[in-house]
A and B are shown apart, each in its own frame.
Chain A
């Protein structure tokens, strides 16, 4: 032990034998406390450390160290999807089909919403929740429907939480969701490039790459993004088993999610669940690069506008009136 020289001001540094022992005990206690704290922290932090089987842990280990989805080869994508399917089987007994379908050539998805026709039935919201395996506990909803008074188009003047017979006279209905902007502020904000715009126009999130900083959620002007504040819970029989890696697979806790234009459906040529569910046909979806598509017809023949157009986000979701 170093015995520093005695100084008047540094007198407290002189180590007497009794102080030496108490210091040793103090240090001992401190290190035990630190070890206990860090052990409890680790067991609390690491997901599923008490894995029932070694297989689960091995799968989670490999999943933890995997690359960004965009950098994976097709084989790596298939491997990660196989691991995810296996983990789901082990953890909840679900048989999933997770797709890694790539974007289609010459396709750019666009969406139009008819604010004359919407009657506020919210079938779109219910269908979206089922299709995309959204958390039932917190009632996460990608789509928000607003009951609006005529005279203003700003959803902040509307009521987003109505629950009464619809439609109400002299009110119209307007829905919002992620608008898949071409100049998205959210993709610009993400520090790890965990969210990006795919070539077919869908803005997606790699849930396993996201670090949960929520900067994209602060950047979105349309309240398009949702965060998994807790672990999502969906009743097993309601889980939609046809999933896409970038779409409706069940998200981990602490990750961002959003509408993906039902990527698991649209890349197979199907309409998104909201479009299909709408009883009044207020929603139009299609390929913007196809001059004969319905969405192009709407853009050409109807008076369309986009929300908060002045922000320069260039969304691919238009509103129109009959």
Chain B
């Protein structure tokens, strides 16, 4: 295939847009559903904008809820792109080289969702410009939230600009100059670990919350991220393999399975370590864990939630580890999905809400998200999926053409 008839960035952008508004019926229906999802989110958010966060289920005691839970979990998914980048660029694995761009697309989508969740959670989103150093006041390096703003935006730039550079060159049929982007790829590997450690430090650094104030949060976040993220990527790759023409070799799934299993086992070991610390000798500091796992004073709304999550986690890990069916996708894909959901449950609501219950003065409440929170969450997830779809569709078309042109 020859190069496209027009050159330059505007043509690239135009093509990307064209590719993302055309397609078969299934694709258009999928896009319509996403737009509807975003519309529902915007409608729900308008209530929040008008009446404030009182329309959510949050209060002075449970001051962070569904939004921050999803944010926490999705930072992990974004960081997990490193599990594709590492083999592709460090170990020069050719199989992973083929799918690394998909991982980066998922990372960008997850990051967009993270930033969106933060924005919808703010009480004064119009004052967000107060964060910009120079025109606002940026409490760096004291505030871990400030660190998080820096690392998340930096990671977004790294994972956005490097693939953009590569795809742009491939779009024009050129080979991208590896010497130009390789340092940034290395940077993004270290950066991926740091975004998730910094997000963990947000909670880990608070002496007021003994449920979070333990040294295992950072490493636990990494382990659960590297289990849930590649699980999602496995599902994404399976969908791409079936729906588009982009063939993905079985070996990639096998290697991903290995990464997921190792991380999931480490995650379970860390979970056991936490449970031991909390319950072997129950101190006042264990009260949040007691609320989560066993309920307190009749408040036990999270007990079924966490036990379902742990059971799902263990079952999925066992299935993925012992691999019954020998890499049969009908077994592995549901197991990956189960693991993803289980970790979402445990790392999202199962981490944020119990950390805030009981209040620092010992008052116990229950948290239940309202329809506004659920709809806004739906909207943000739709937005994330839209971003991921846009990026991956453009990337796959370009890569496909590039591969064919270089044959």
Contact = CB atoms under 8 A, between A and B. Distances in A.
Contact of B139 (A190, A214, A220): A190
Interface residues of B, number: 78
B137 A218 contact: no
B143 A176 contact: no
Interface in A16-65: 19, 23, 26-27, 30, 33, 37, 40-41, 44-46, 64
Contacts of B207: 185, 221, 311-313
B46 A44 contact: yes
Nearest to A313: B207
Contacts of A5: 1-2
A219 B123 CA distance: 17
Interface string B117-128: 010011111111
B124 A255 contact: yes
Interface string A74-118: 000000000000000000000000000000000000000000000
Given A2-B15, A5-B1, A210-B124, A218 B130 contact: no
Given A209-B130, A212-B122, A255-B124, A217 B52 contact: no
Contact of A144 (B5, B15, B361): B361
Given A185-B207, A192-B130, A30 B35 contact: yes
Interface in A202-218: 208-215, 217-218
Contacts of B358: 156
A188 B362 contact: no
B314 to A, nearest CB: 30
A215 B144 CA distance: 10
B196 interface: no
B193 interface: no
Nearest to B32: A26
A220 B126 contact: no
Contacts of A190: 139, 143, 145
Contact of B397 (A10, A217, A256): A10
Contact of A45 (B11, B126, B149): B126
B99 interface: no
B145 A215 contact: yes
Interface stretch (B18-26, B250-258, B331-339, B340-348): B18-26
B138 A192 contact: yes
B330 interface: no
Contacts of A154: 284, 362
Interface in A180-236: 185, 188-194, 208-215, 217-223, 225-231
B60 interface: yes
Contacts of A7: 1, 400-401, 404
B191 interface: no
A319 B27 CA distance: 66
A315 B57 CA distance: 31
A40 B51 CA distance: 15
B406 interface: no
Contact of B52 (A41, A176, A229): A229
B144 A189 contact: yes
B245 to A, nearest CB: 3
A220 B58 CA distance: 17
A84 to B, nearest CB: 16
A214 B50 CA distance: 19
Given A191-B146, A209-B137, A231 B208 contact: no
Contacts of A209: 127, 130, 137
A146 B146 CA distance: 36
A129 to B, nearest CB: 15
A254 B131 contact: no
A313 B21 CA distance: 56
A33 B2 CA distance: 38
Contacts of A169: none
Given A209-B127, A211-B131, A254-B52, A219 B362 contact: no
B255 to A, nearest CB: 25
B345 to A, nearest CB: 21
Contacts of B362: 154-158
A165 B209 CA distance: 34
A217 B39 contact: no
Given A2-B6, A191-B131, A44 B49 contact: yes
B94 interface: no
Nearest to B139: A193
Most buried by A among B2, B15, B22, B47: B22
B52 A222 contact: no
Nearest to B136: A192
Contact of B130 (A37, A40, A194): A194
18 contacts: A5-B1, A9-B245, A13-B397, A37-B42, A138-B54, A160-B363, A189-B143, A190-B143, A191-B138, A192-B131, A209-B137, A213-B123, A214-B63, A214-B123, A223-B360, A223-B361, A229-B58, A229-B60
